Amino acid sequence: MNLRLFLIVVSLFPFFISAYAQGSFIEKGNEKSSSPAQDEKTMEFKIFSLGAEPDAILLGRTLPVLFTVLVTGGQEAPETIQLLEVTNNGREIKALGDLYDNGQNGDIASQDRIFSGTFEVSGLKEGLRYFQARLYKEGIRYMSPVYSWMVTTFPTELHPSDPNMLVEDPKTGYKFYANEVIVSFKEKVPSEKIIEILFSEKCDLVGTIPSLGVSQIRCVMDKTDEAVYQKIKTFERYREIEYAEPNFYIELDD
């Protein structure tokens, strides 16, 4: 059985590097955030980066969002971790409630050091919203890295690709879709500008992976590998675009 993945393998590597870098951030003073490189047997707590499911929402909608965070260190696990909405630089806006590790309140498994909670979140304004996990213990404040969550007018998941559009690069043997590329737009590029770029290139944004910051772009072009590479070069000339790559087809055999 083959499993089709509509995701560029290369895109995963910078994502994991970025996640590690976020987890390694340590604040000064009595504020401490997580560091995977530290010894987990330390008496100090470590709070890793938040995760959320879903990790984006369409503008104008309200959804229950499951937030999770891993906490290590300390002699005993804390009872709760506080979830905050913050600014992009970590200034508190409001406290949303507590995350639990008791197998309830949205938590899947108890006493696994993964704290969870479900909260209603609205997408009233397009752009990024920011969240952070906090723990007070013995006069010390422990903070997670700031987590960004997207409110968008674009699709919040990938769209199935057409297998009839597969082409192969004769030099590498890699297969990818002749009518698609994966594009990473730089942060804070307005949706109007994205639409303008895509319109000029005869393309549509048909899917995204918000947690990776990549978009699935479908274009009108010849069914050749050269056409895909040419479109990538064209996209990378835009200052609003971080990078562009083929949408590779990957086969995984059982």
Tens digit of pLDDT at every position of the chain (254 positions): 333 333 434 333 333 333 333 333 222 334 444 444 444 455 789 999 999 999 999 999 999 999 999 999 988 899 999 999 999 999 999 999 999 999 987 888 999 999 999 999 999 999 899 999 999 998 899 999 999 999 999 999 999 999 999 999 999 999 999 999 999 999 889 999 999 999 999 999 999 998 888 999 999 999 999 999 999 999 999 999 999 999 999 876 65
Residue reference for tokens 């490189």: 37
Distances (CA, A) of 54 to 66, 68, 97, 147, 185: 7, 11, 18, 13, 20
Look at the pTM and tell me if it is higher than 0.85.
no
173 CB-contact burial (10 Å; exposed 0-12 / middle 13-18 / buried 19+): exposed
Return all residues near 229 (Cβ < 8 A) that are at least 6 apart: 246
User: What DSSP state is assigned to residue 89?
Assistant: T
Cβ(87)–Cβ(147) under 8 Å? no
Give Dmax (Cα) for the chain: 64
Domains of the chain as residue ranges with CATH: 33-152 (2.60.40.1930), 155-249 (3.30.70)
